[in-house]
């Protein structure tokens, strides 16, 4: 699975970085920077939860 | 064959100089295949800056009711090649537009130019002279740096909003009003027509590039040279330098500074020659301020990042310690927007720091390195 951010939809709420600090950090303006590469299997459930929690539905999880 | 004539060509003049498209050779469905194969054999790549193989784009957009969009907008203040082409050789562009429409089975074409563009009379007069199979509509696009980005054009033609849509879906998949859409730069279409008129083999040997040259050259303007010229050849075609140069900005406002004049150019729409007497950091700071103001304000890293790096550069010029902040910020801007606008600004800024490194030190030691007077 691969995690990405829809840059137009993202409003910089920052929930993703709270819920998934292993893969998401925030830049100085509060917008998510997602780690490159596939989502590690042990984080799959957490990642799904973070994507579902995004208030703007901007955090996207796709089959790689 | 040069694609840019010295004077404007009307339809008769165009046909005398460039010939008539051999439509009969491309009749029917297998004719479409032959046409795309000819474009492939010509090795044609997009001239809007992306350099994508045109035949691949044609194949992707093939459909029964697709649309061709000719992009004649020039958001970059350093580029005028597309306007020159539309002013002097509009029929070559429209021939290319009709060929592209035939190749993909389009029922509709749109020729996009900047709102109030000086090329409008030339284009309108050219269309009035023709009796084309697929109708061509002219659309005036708001003047904005990112409005000529392909997804922004598609967005505008669908909804009247000239902001980029993002990378997915591609216009070939879902474009204007949801239809498969081919978006090609007007020079690409003129080159396509030229490849068909000359034949792919002859075209490959004779093909040319258009480059807009500005800055410290004797005759600034649009020049046409054999494909893949060196910077030295491009500057010579613009009459040569008016004074020693310090560096050249290659690729327009989102481009790269270089001091290597042997560099070969391919698909580069514009170069700016910076004289030795001007400060590259000051020039870059002005360009970054422009680019920051041109953000469509949709994506965070662009909306906040571009004003931040523009402010950093302004501070750098004043002698402030912004270099460390820039080293941290610049890599953060790349690949994080819906379009390549922030990537271009970051590329420009990073190349300025590399190329004018000595000047950074001078500014930090207190004040300006050179006097920037009378430089555009």
- Report percent pLDDT > 90 for chain B: 88
Beta bridge partners of B209: B225
Inter-chain CB pairs, A–B, below 8 Å: 37
ipTM of the complex: 0.93
- Report percent pLDDT > 70 for chain B: 98
CA distance B264 to A9: 40
Closest CA to B252 of B205, B211, B209: B211
CA distance B92 to B15: 9
Question: B338 and A33 in contact by Cβ < 8 A?
Answer: no
Q: Which residue has the tokens 């203040």?
A: B77
How would you classify the pairing of strands B208-215 and B270-275? Answer: parallel
C-alpha distance from B152 to closest chain A C-alpha (Å) = 13
Question: A8 and B336 in contact by Cβ < 8 A?
Answer: no
- Using DSSP, state whether B223 is helix, strand or coil: strand
Q: Residue B373 above 70 pLDDT?
A: no
A31 touches chain B (CB under 8 A): yes
Which residues of A are less than 8 Å from B155 in CB distance?
Answer: none
Asked if residues B59 and B86 have their Cβ atoms less than 8 Å apart, the reply is no
C-alpha distance from A10 to closest chain B C-alpha (Å) = 7
Q: Read off the pLDDT band of B372 (50, 70, 90).
A: low
Chain-wide mean pLDDT for chain B?
A: 94
pLDDT digits 0-9 by tens, B188-234? 999 999 999 999 999 999 999 999 999 999 999 999 999 999 999 99
Q: Residue B86 above 50 pLDDT?
A: yes
pLDDT digits 0-9 by tens, A8-59? 999 999 999 999 999 999 999 999 999 999 999 999 999 999 999 999 999 9
What is the chain A residue with the closest CA to B332? A27
Question: A29 and B304 in contact by Cβ < 8 A?
Answer: yes
Q: Full-prediction pTM beyond 0.95?
A: no
Closest CA to A17 of A43, A54, A45, A44: A54
Question: B299 and A10 in contact by Cβ < 8 A?
Answer: yes
C-alpha distance from B166 to closest chain A C-alpha (Å) = 7
Asked if residues A64 and A38 have their Cβ atoms less than 8 Å apart, the reply is yes
How far CA B232 is from CA of B40, B239, B275, in Å, comes to 30, 11, 15
Nearest to A10 among B300, B304, B308 (CB): B300
């Amino acid at each position: 699975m691969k995690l990405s951010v829809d840059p137009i939809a993202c409003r910089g709420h920052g929930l993703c970085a709270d819920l998934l600090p292993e893969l998401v950090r925030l830049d100085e303006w509060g917008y998510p920077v997602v780690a490159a590469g596939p989502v590690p299997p042990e984080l799959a459930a957490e990642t799904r939860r973070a994507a579902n929690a995004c208030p703007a539905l901007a955090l996207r999880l796709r089959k790689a | 064959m040069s694609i840019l004539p010295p004077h404007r060509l009307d339809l008769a003049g165009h046909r005398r100089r460039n010939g008539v498209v051999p439509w009969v050779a491309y009749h029917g469905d297998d004719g479409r295949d032959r046409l795309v194969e000819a474009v492939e054999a010509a090795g044609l790549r997009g001239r809007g800056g992306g350099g994508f193989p045109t035949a691949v784009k044609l194949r992707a957009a093939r459909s029964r009711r697709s649309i061709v969009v000719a992009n004649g907008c020039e958001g970059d203040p350093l580029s005028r090649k597309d306007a020159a082409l539309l002013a002097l050789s509009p029929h070559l562009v429209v021939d290319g537009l009709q060929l592209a429409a035939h190749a993909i089975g389009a029922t509709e074409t749109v020729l996009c130019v900047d709102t109030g563009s000086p090329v409008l009379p030339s284009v309108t007069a050219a269309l009035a002279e023709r009796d084309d199979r697929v109708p061509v509509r002219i659309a005036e696009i708001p003047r904005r740096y990112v409005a000529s980005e392909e997804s922004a054009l598609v967005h505008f033609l669908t909804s009247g909003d000239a902001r980029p849509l993002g990378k997915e879906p591609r216009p070939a998949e879902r474009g204007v009003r949801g239809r498969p859409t081919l978006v090609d730069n007007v020079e690409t279409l003129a080159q396509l027509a030229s490849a068909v008129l000359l034949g792919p083999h002859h075209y490959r040997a004779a093909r040319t590039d258009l480059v807009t040259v500005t800055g410290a050259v004797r005759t600034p303007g649009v020049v046409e040279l054999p494909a893949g010229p060196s910077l030295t050849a491009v500057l010579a075609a613009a009459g040569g330098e008016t004074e020693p140069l310090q560096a050249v900005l290659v690729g327009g406002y989102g481009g790269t500074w270089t001091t290597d004049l042997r560099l070969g150019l391919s698909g580069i729409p514009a170069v700016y020659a910076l004289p030795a007497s001007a400060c590259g950091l000051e020039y870059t700071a002005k360009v970054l301020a422009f680019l920051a103001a041109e953000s469509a304000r949709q994506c965070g890293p662009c909306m906040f990042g571009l004003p931040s790096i523009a402010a950093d550069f302004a501070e750098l010029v004043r002698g402030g310690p912004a270099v460390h902040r820039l080293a941290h910020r610049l890599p953060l801007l790349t690949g994080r927007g819906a379009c390549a606008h922030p990537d271009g600004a970051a590329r420009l800024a990073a190349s300025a720091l590399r190329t004018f490194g000595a000047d950074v030190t001078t500014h930090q030691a207190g004040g300006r390195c050179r006097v920037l007077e009378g430089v555009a």
